């Protein structure tokens, strides 16, 4: 139970630390974006998983067989920062060796070679021809390596495609050395000096040593049946194991094939405090070999970057740490120099002016372009009619070609119609008359320009507390009768609600009535202006026959959220405010 609690506590602590790290990164990034910090947080970057394989051999007391050994393994690598990373590496390898120089047992008068003094070589006691050492060694290790890369700090390009690196590591290894010491009958090989054709002359030439090895390969059965000696007194994990400390060092170069994959070549040297990796301790007092055997591994490494590269960057050793700085410098250089020159003196500097040769005195908009208030294509400074009516052909001087229309309403006609409709609304109480208000197409929302009209109605009602006013809604002829009845009701209701809500008029003094399209001001209306005159609410003194009307059934119009002209009939230059 105690062990489980300990494990859960470690998991919780690890999760908390990672959460705090992410929180700190987010806070640092926010501070950097807001200009409160000079440095951004280290970006989240991918792990690298790789496999490797290559040639493995031992540089010791016995001539190595080339090619003859192999190695393979895998690694997991994580960048600590842009120049340094940690790599966990696992390896398995097998190497062989064959010595063209004979060795004799220490029991022979003057032993040749280093002398086969270990107990494993007792079968060759009193054998004057001796033995030509032959071994097969297998090696496994697990190490942690620090990797120093120097290929990604670049001043002249965005990212690197080649990466040079050097590693140094330490870990644990275990090896097993087997010797081809006995023949198929489990007896020592006899007459090797004669059958191998060995001579000092041959041994002293490359060709001769090759001939000796060829002869030995034909004599030996190729079975490595005898376990080699182990070094005494070396540090190992337990007396009965052969696991000991190993140091590694390597140099390599890798090439990025894509954002996710890279391929490298590397040469690694492995060292332990052990001279028995090839089964032989040393050669002779006159021909001393190294006091420890070294292992060499030349390999290709294929690696893949793990994770979603939309959320994490490539490993930092593939990222140029100067990239952001160089981009910032380039952006600063590309920014235009502030120039306050205003060539045409229109109040807009040339850097922002879209028309740098506007004539002197011509009114312009915020872009420095000459104003065209009525949008007729003729700038105001040369337009003889800056506010031409819409819907007409425009001449070269900006004047609308307005043809006389016998059936069209003039401004005087509109005033006469209003006067005639309001002539009967006068009352001795203050000699007042009541205005009317108009509405947009298919809308019942009161337009701001009629707030003054309603204020006048409210003022009259307050001056004449006994007065009763009928509020009558109307529409134009477009749409069905039922629809227009509801729309006219909604318009009258909007006017009544406005007076009651904003001025506190007693609702009982207002009679809500509607007429739909049945009582137009302009009969047989065709133009939009004529339709507009019919879309109205009238206010009049209550007549004996007036009565409150109930809400009709159905739907009709909406209050809307816009006032003024609809987008379909918009005309003018929006930069002029029209």
What string of DSSP letters covers 380-396?
GGG-SSTTPPTTS-B-T
Percent helix, strand, coil in the chain, to 5, is 25, 25, 50
Beta-carbon contacts of residue 442 (< 8 Å; ≥ 6 apart): 479, 487, 557, 558
Continuous segment of H or E residues that includes residue 328 = helix 323-334
> Where along the chain do the CATH 2.40.160.20 domains lie?
42-324
Angle among Cα 195, 201, 204 to the nearest 5 degrees reads 105
- Could you tell me if 179 and 279 are in contact, meaning their C-beta atoms sit under 8 angstroms apart? yes
> Which ranges in 34-145 belong to alpha helices (H)?
none
Report in angstroms the alpha-carbon separations of 306 from 48, 261, 315, 337, 398.
Answer: 6, 10, 9, 45, 69
Q: Which two tokens stand for residue 301?
A: 């490494």
> Where along the chain do the CATH 3.30.1330.60 domains lie?
412-576
Q: What's the pTM?
A: 0.53
Instruction: Find the helix packing angle between 481-503 and 451-463, rounded to 10°.
Output: 60
Distance CA(252)–CA(125), nearest Å, equals 47
pLDDT tens, N- to C-terminus, the chain (578 residues): 444 444 444 444 444 444 445 444 454 455 555 666 666 777 889 999 999 999 999 988 888 888 879 999 999 999 998 889 999 999 999 999 998 988 888 777 666 766 677 788 888 888 888 888 999 999 999 999 999 988 776 666 667 788 899 999 999 999 999 999 899 899 999 998 889 888 888 889 999 999 999 999 999 998 999 888 887 766 667 666 788 899 999 999 999 999 999 999 999 999 988 888 888 876 555 555 556 889 999 999 999 999 898 889 889 888 877 766 777 777 777 777 777 888 888 888 888 888 888 888 888 888 888 888 877 888 888 887 887 887 778 887 878 787 766 666 666 777 677 666 655 555 556 556 789 999 999 999 999 999 999 999 999 999 998 899 999 999 999 888 899 999 999 999 999 999 999 999 999 999 999 998 888 988 888 888 889 999 999 999 899 999 999 999 877 666 554 333 333 333 444 343 33
Angle among Cα 201, 205, 211 to the nearest 5 degrees reads 85
Distance CA(361)–CA(111), nearest Å, equals 116
Class of domain 412-576: alpha beta
Class of domain 42-324: mainly beta
Distance CA(324)–CA(67), nearest Å, equals 48
Distance CA(419)–CA(414), nearest Å, equals 9
């Amino acid at each position: 139970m105690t062990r489980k609690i300990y494990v859960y506590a470690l998991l919780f602590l690890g999760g908390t630390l990672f959460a705090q790290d992410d929180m700190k990164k987010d806070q640092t990034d926010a501070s950097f974006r807001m200009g409160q910090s000079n440095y951004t947080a280290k970006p989240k970057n991918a792990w690298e998983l790789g496999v490797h394989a290559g040639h493995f051999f031992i540089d010791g007391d016995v001539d190595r067989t080339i090619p003859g050994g192999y190695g393979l393994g895998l690694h997991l690598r994580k960048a600590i920062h842009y120049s340094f990373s940690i790599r966990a590496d696992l390896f398995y390898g097998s190497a062989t060796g064959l010595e063209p120089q004979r060795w004799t047992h220490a029991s022979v008068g003057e032993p040749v070679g280093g002398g086969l003094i270990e107990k494993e070589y007792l079968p060759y006691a009193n054998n004057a021809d001796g033995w030509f050492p032959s071994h097969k060694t297998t090696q496994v290790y697990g190490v942690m390596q620090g990797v120093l890369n120097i290929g990604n700090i670049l001043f002249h390009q965005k990212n690197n495609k080649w990466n040079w690196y050097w590693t140094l590591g330490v870990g644990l290894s275990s090896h097993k050395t087997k010797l081809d010491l006995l023949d198929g009958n489990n007896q020592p090989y006899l007459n090797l000096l004669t059958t191998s054709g060995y001579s000092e002359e041959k041994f002293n030439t490359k060709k001769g040593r090759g001939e000796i090895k060829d002869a030995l390969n034909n004599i030996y059965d190729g079975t490595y049946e005898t376990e080699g000696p182990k070094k005494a007194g070396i540090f190992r994990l337990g007396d009965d194991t052969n696991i000991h400390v190993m140091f590694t060092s390597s140099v390599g170069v890798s090439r990025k094939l894509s954002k996710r994959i890279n391929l490298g070549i590397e040469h690694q040297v492995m060292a332990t405090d052990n001279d028995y990796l090839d089964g032989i301790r040393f050669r002779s007092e006159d021909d001393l070999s190294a006091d420890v055997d070294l292992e060499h591994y030349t390999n290709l490494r294929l690696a893949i970057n793990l994770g979603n590269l939309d959320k994490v960057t490539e490993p930092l050793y593939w990222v140029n740490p100067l990239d952001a700085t160089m981009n910032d410098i380039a952006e600063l250089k590309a920014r235009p120099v502030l120039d306050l020159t205003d060539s045409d003196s229109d109040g807009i500097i040339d850097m922002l002016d879209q028309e740098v040769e506007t004539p002197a005195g011509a009114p312009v908009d915020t872009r420095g372009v000459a104003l065209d208030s009525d949008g007729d294509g003729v700038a105001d400074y040369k337009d003889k009619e800056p506010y031409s009516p819409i819907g007409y052909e425009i001449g070269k001087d900006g004047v609308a070609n307005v043809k006389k229309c016998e059936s069209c309403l003039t401004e005087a006609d509109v005033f006469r119609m209003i006067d005639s409709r309001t002539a009967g609304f006068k009352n001795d109480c203050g000699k007042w008359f009541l205005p009317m208000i108009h509405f947009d197409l298919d809308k019942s929302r009161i337009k701001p320009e009629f707030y003054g009209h309603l204020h006048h109605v409210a003022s009259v009602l307050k001056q004449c507390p006994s007065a009763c006013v009928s509020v009558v809604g109307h529409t134009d002829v477009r749409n069905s009768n039922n629809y227009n009845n509801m729309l006219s009701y909604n318009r009258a209701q909007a006017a009544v609600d406005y007076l009651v809500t904003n001025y506190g008029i007693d609702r009982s003094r207002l009679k809500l009535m509607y007429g739909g399209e049945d009582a137009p001001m302009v009969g047989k209306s065709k133009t939009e202006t004529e339709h507009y005159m019919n879309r109205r609410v009238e206010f009049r003194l209550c007549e004996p026959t007036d009565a409150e009307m109930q809400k009709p059934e159905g739907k009709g119009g909406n209050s809307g959220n816009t006032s003024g002209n609809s987008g379909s009939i918009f005309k003018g230059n929006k930069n002029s405010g029209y």
